[in-house]
Amino acid sequence: MKFKEEAKLQLNFSKLISSLKYKTNAMATYRFIIDNEEELGEGIQRVIIEQLNYIKQQARIPVNIDLSTHEIRKSFKRLRAVLRLIRYDIGEELFLSENVKYKEFAARLSRLRDIHVIISYLANCFEAEELVIGEESFIRFIGYLNEQKEKELRLLTEKGVMEDIFKHCKRQLKVVKEYPVQNLGPHTIHNGVIHAYKRCLDKIEDAQLRLDDEALHQLRKKVKYLYNQMLLMEAVWPEYFVTYSSSLSVAAELLGDDHNHAETIAIIEETPDQIMGEDEKQSLIKSLTNERRHITRDLWPLLGKIFAEDAVAFAKRVKSYWLISRE
């Protein structure tokens, strides 16, 4: 009888771990790419409209709130990357007003997304026996995190955040059709890309000098913008852009992992002592800090290879590929 009870408890615990893990979204996303057959303005407008429709779909009927939140935030990042590409053609005033809207809506979902990622990460680590924490403490800690997540969900529901996002994207579908994109061309590619690349170089230097969480967080965002711009142009010259965007994706993932570790440490530090003792807290923090060191050891050499040339040479090359593909 005792053996059966222990087996049942172990089975329930295994189900708990499995339920906490991150699951991919089976829903198809819209094609985030500009074809060689499209004019740049036409392609930009189509991509923005498709991303807005996708956000509407995810906000109106979430298949899974965690996955839908992730997809919505990803699409907002893509929209902001596109805006950065065309900012000098549409004008600074329009760029700033549109960018801040997308930024604010994405920010309203960031807390929920962070908690979900942290729970999933801890579940994977615990199953791999990489966390120095007992089962009881782990279950209490996950329960505490789920309570924080439930509070955030209630807050989002009470404030009607998803409904606000849906309505905003519906309005934006009309606004986008009025964007002044008729005269976009090779100069657009050059101006947008050189700015994104320069911002990455600036943030790399800043992160190496400051070595703090915020500097790395800002670098992650800038790398993501450049990554999305390269993703947008993959069809133009696949031999180059697919390889380069893949390298940027790896760098962004490393920076994202580091950010998740930093957020996890912050949450551990805020966790009440009755949930987790100080010794276990410090043990987890030490483990996470060591993992961050491993991440940065992989990160800096990779960034050195990705950003080996100056911004002018990079933008010139990207513009050249664009022009040749259109001949």
Contact 302, 250 (CB under 8 A): yes
**Distances, alpha carbon 141 to alpha carbons 21, 146, 159, 270, in Å:** 15, 9, 27, 11
Other beta carbons within 10 angstroms of residue 103's beta carbon come to 13
Strands (E) in 131-276, as ranges, are none
243-290 tens-digit pLDDT: 999 999 999 999 999 999 999 999 999 999 889 889 889 988 998 999
**Distances, alpha carbon 14 to alpha carbons 9, 84, 123, 162, 173, in Å:** 9, 45, 10, 33, 45
Contact 122, 132 (CB under 8 A): no
Q: What does the block give as tokens for 154?
A: 């209630």
**pLDDT computed for residue 327 by the predictor:** 67
Contact 268, 289 (CB under 8 A): no
Cβ-proximal residues to 49 (8 Å cutoff; 6+ apart), any chain:
173, 176
| Range 101-108 average pLDDT | 95
Cβ-proximal residues to 19 (8 Å cutoff; 6+ apart), any chain:
none
- What totals of helices (H) and strands (E) does the chain contain, helices first? 12, 0
Give 124's Cβ-side CA count (13 Å radius): 9
| Cα dihedral across residues 236, 232, 239, 187: positive or negative | positive
In single-letter form, the type of residue at position 250 comes to V
Cβ-proximal residues to 68 (8 Å cutoff; 6+ apart), any chain:
25, 58, 59, 62
pTM of the model: 0.87
Contact 50, 31 (CB under 8 A): yes
The C-alpha atoms of residue 41 and residue 48 are separated, in whole angstroms, by: 11
Rounded to 10 deg, the angle between the 238-270 and 110-127 helix axes is 90
The C-alpha atoms of residue 63 and residue 168 are separated, in whole angstroms, by: 20
**pLDDT computed for residue 154 by the predictor:** 92
**pLDDT computed for residue 29 by the predictor:** 53
Q: What angle do CA 227, 188, 326 make, to 5 degrees?
A: 90
Greater confidence (105 vs 19) lies with 105
The C-alpha atoms of residue 202 and residue 281 are separated, in whole angstroms, by: 35
Q: What does the block give as tokens for 319?
A: 């513009």
Percent of the chain at pLDDT exceeding 90: 66
Give 96's Cβ-side CA count (13 Å radius): 3
**pLDDT computed for residue 132 by the predictor:** 76
Other beta carbons within 10 angstroms of residue 57's beta carbon come to 20
| Range 128-155 average pLDDT | 87
301-324 tens-digit pLDDT: 999 999 999 999 999 999 999 888
Q: Residue 130: pLDDT above 50?
A: yes
The C-alpha atoms of residue 35 and residue 33 are separated, in whole angstroms, by: 6
Say how many Å lie between the first and final Cα of the chain, rounded. Answer: 77
The C-alpha atoms of residue 294 and residue 258 are separated, in whole angstroms, by: 10
